[in-house]
Amino acid sequence: MGWEPFEYGDPLNPEKFNSKFKQVYSLLSKAFIYNNLLKRRLDTVNEAVTISSEIFSIESDGTLTGDVSEGRRLYNLPVDANDRCYELFIGGEYFGGATSTDVSLLDGSTLATDNRSAILELSGPEVSRVPLTTNEYGEQKPSLGTFVSSNTFDETKLSNILAPSAIWAEIVNVDDLETTEDDHTGVGVIEFTLPDSLSPYMNKVNITPLIGTSYRLYTYSGDAKKPVTGGAFLTGAASFYIERDIFDGRLRLELKGTTTTGGVGFGVINLGVAYHPFNDTGASVLKYSLDPAISEINITSIQNNQSLVNTSLAIYTDDVMTNQVYNSEQDGFSFTGNTTITKGAATQIDLYIKLDMEKDKGTTPTFPYLQIKYEDKTNA
């Protein structure tokens, strides 16, 4: 309801006055509610800035520095003093379409990336497990059937974690924090219950924490609690893929924060929960060329930080992929041994790395990176 002003010549009867005062009351009520909403949002922003200020500092030249190291996702560098042993590191995103002048993806790739790992492409649109509604202020919020609870944090603010255009942060007293079953102290716990109105399935969880906040996630299936992220507390944005049919709508998020003025600060920019209909299979071939001065190498190690599940890896030295020098199904993964490759009449040693994936239990495998260690045997 908006304000309808008096017009010149209107009779000043009691009914008119009552109507106008009702309009004033309604407008003031809406202003009060909106001001409280803005205050809560400003409180959240202020606390997020306070938490981040404990991590970052501004140098005299204006440079922002912090304790968060920059991950390197593509390099080929010597790892010994004699420049004879090298480590080639290729992030999984390059198998899914990420570009660089140092690698090239051959035509016909049917893998995708979540900006960190290689994954299967989608066969249809993503379906969120969090139904959203737009409130009268134009903000998206979780709708009916979504419940967020905590004994640690202010529950009136926690729905911002599930909202795509909001941020949640809070500073709490250290005495309000919990000790987990495995004896981690100083932990804040948030429980989520999500409806299955949009999809009965869920196979992907992605989280973007505020700097200074570490996390671990659990899903429930009946009385069973299953770790999504493993037992360790993780930092940084990440996506996790789980079996499609085991999620019963409940999530548990455990957080560790940053000690700051007034207590311990926590923050999450977004938590996404969705079902992704993945293709059944996918493959890509990545080409990497070594320095032309190198005429012979000996591959001693091929690995990443996980075992291959419904995934195979092969390396060839020709673009028609007839000269195979490594196959994970035959040679094992992780691989440790000696595989010699020579340049021969070619101008350089080219590695054609083929990655194949197959859907597993309704979800995608992931391939976070490939690390190859080799020796330069040119002048050995």
pLDDT in tens, 225-241: 889 988 889 988 889 99
Model pLDDT, residue 65: 46
Hey, is 258 helix, strand or coil?
strand
Euclidean distance between CA atoms 227 and 225, whole angstroms: 7
Write out pLDDT tens, residues 60-106.
444 444 443 333 688 998 888 777 899 999 999 999 988 888 889 98
Residue 21 pLDDT grade (very low, low, confident, very high; cuts 50, 70, 90): low
Q: How many secondary structure helices (H) and strands (E) does the chain include? A: 2, 27
Residue 26 pLDDT class (50, 70, 90 cuts): low
Cα–Cα distance for residue pair 121/113, rounded to 1 Å? 8
For 74-123+279-376, CATH gives 2.60.120
Q: DSSP readout, 50-89?
A: HHHHHH-EE-TTS-EE-S-PPPP-EEEEE-STTS-EEEEE
Which pLDDT score is estimated for 196? 82
Q: Is the pLDDT of residue 7 over 70?
A: no
d(CA 315, CA 328): 9
Nearest to 267 by CA among 231, 235, 223: 235
**3-class secondary-structure state, position 323:** coil
Q: What is the mean pLDDT of residues 349-372?
A: 95
Peptide bond into 334 cis (omega under 30): yes
Burial code of 343-374, b = ≥16 C-beta within 10 A, e = fewer? Answer: beeeeebbbbbbbbbbbbebbbbbbebbebbb
Type of residue at 168? W
Mean pLDDT: which of 2-11, 32-41, 313-322 is highest? 313-322
Alpha carbon distance, N-terminus to C-terminus of the chain:
85
Least confident of 42-46, 276-280, 319-323: 42-46
| 333 has a pLDDT exceeding 90 | yes
pLDDT of residue 212: 84
Lowest-pLDDT range of 15-19, 266-270, 291-295:
15-19
> Mean pLDDT in the chain?
84
Listed residue (329, 365, 306) closest to 111, CA to CA: 365
Residue from 233, 230, 151 nearest 184 by CA: 233
pLDDT category of residue 12 using cuts at 50, 70 and 90: low
pLDDT of residue 302: 96
Q: What share of the chain is helix, strand, coil (3-state, %, to 5)?
A: 15, 40, 45
Binning pLDDT at 50, 70 and 90, where does residue 52 land? low
Per-domain residue ranges of the chain = 74-123+279-376
Q: What is the pLDDT of residue 235?
A: 86
Give the pLDDT score at 148. Answer: 93
CA distances from 125 to 116, 121, 122, 128, 143 (A): 20, 11, 7, 10, 21
